[in-house]
Amino acid sequence: MLDNPSITIAGRRISTLNAPYIIAELSANHNGKLETAIRLLKEAKRAGADAIKLQTYRPDTITLKSNYQDFRIKGGPWAGRTLYDLYQEAHMPWDWHKPLFELAKELEITIFSSPFDDTAVDLLEDLNVPVYKISSFEAIDLPLIKYVASTGKPMIISTGMVDKEEIQEAIFTAKEGGCKEVAILHCVSGYPAPPKDYNLRTLADMSKRYQLVTGLSDHTLGNTTAIASISLGASIIEKHFTLDRSAGGPDDSFSLEPSELKALCENSKTAWEALGFVNYGFKSSEQENIQFRRSLYFVKDLLEGETLTNDHIRSVRPGYGLPPKYLEKIIGRKIKVSVKKNKPALSEYFFD
């Protein structure tokens, strides 16, 4: 059993012993403009994200051009549209990938993508992508996972549309195919997804069950669910990211804006730092306050040889005297030296 499984992406180690790895999902939020995609990269870097993720497909590599009901979306933000029509609008032109990868290198932010077929993997390999993401809907596409695994690159698998056995199949296929580092993301594939659907306690079970780095692909509105997941072992947080939630693009409405992404990056690190380790000792911020603990103080003047009674001593703040637990042990004993009231009761006054 691995106590702290880890993966490494572009030199960055990811585990529960490291600050959460924040992925800004660009998805379709370029809204058909390369300049928007470029701005999103720059804003993600400015916000403090560790990586930005693309999606690499063409409409004809992900679906069929058909008006049959099978291919028509029946609910959610894209209701009434055909899959082909939606993906025609949402996809990122493949000739954008190279300039975006070059810009990410210049900005020193990791960039990678979710491929949706073998040709997408080939394109991304030509760009020397450092890691691959398998989307929830493709997590049952074992031939695709096998092909991605053959690259030897780390793989992150979202689990929103698969059950326990299918998750295990995907992991097995990845490892058998040559992938040595796998992470899995708990996910709810609703757009947006209500926080109550996330059942974040699943994260702890996933970590124990699969012995892999776990994280969260979060489709809720806001950051509360993502922040909460860190206390349950999430080492990776992925959120959709846009310049303007009201821009009207396919994914804009359930995405974070730049200020919200910045808050997520900062608050995630704070939440992780607050977890710390098991520690019952005094913390650095407490050292100066130890003096304010209670202790035993004389409340009357006493001469050498007098017998101590409850009227002579009290448990009060500050903490320079004996701890209050010694009160019963010293009541009834003779004091060894004369003392003044308002002075701390010390062990040398009573004990040999």
Beta strands in 148-198 (DSSP E): 155-158, 182-187
Q: Which residue has the tokens 């403090």?
A: 48
Is the whole model's pTM more than 0.85, yes or no? yes
Neighbouring CB atoms inside 10 A of 134's CB total 26
Distances 176 to 34, 151, 281 between C-alpha atoms, Å: 38, 12, 46
- Quick one: 129 and 65 in the same domain? yes
229 domain residue, yes or no: yes
5 domain residue, yes or no: no
The residue segments making up the domain with residue 302 are 284-349
Strand partners, 110: 51
Nearest CA-CA partner of 5 in 212, 237, 258, 275? 212
* Calpha distance 169→241 (Å, rounded): 30
Domain boundary among the residues 246, 275, 304 is at 275
- Quick one: 99 and 36 in the same domain? yes
- Quick one: 144 and 35 in the same domain? yes
2 domain residue, yes or no: no
13 domain residue, yes or no: no
Per-residue pLDDT of the chain (352 residues; tens, 9 = 90+): 457 899 999 999 999 999 999 999 999 999 999 999 999 999 999 999 999 999 999 999 999 999 999 999 888 777 889 999 999 999 999 999 999 999 999 999 999 999 999 999 999 999 999 999 999 999 999 999 999 999 999 999 999 989 999 999 999 999 999 999 999 999 999 889 999 999 999 999 999 999 999 999 999 999 999 999 999 999 999 999 999 999 888 888 899 999 999 999 999 999 999 998 877 776 677 677 778 899 999 999 999 999 999 999 999 999 999 999 999 999 999 999 999 999 999 999 987 6
- Quick one: 204 and 317 in the same domain? no
Domain boundary among the residues 275, 302, 334 is at 275
11 domain residue, yes or no: no
CB of 155 closer than 8 Å to CB of 182: yes
Distances 7 to 18, 51, 238, 351 between C-alpha atoms, Å: 11, 15, 16, 58
In this structure, what CATH number is given to the domain that contains residue 116? Answer: 3.20.20.70
- Quick one: 291 and 259 in the same domain? no
- Quick one: 270 and 289 in the same domain? no
Token code pair at residue 44: 């993600």
Domain boundary among the residues 275, 299, 314 is at 275
* Calpha distance 312→25 (Å, rounded): 69
Residue 266 carries which side chain, given as an amino acid letter? E
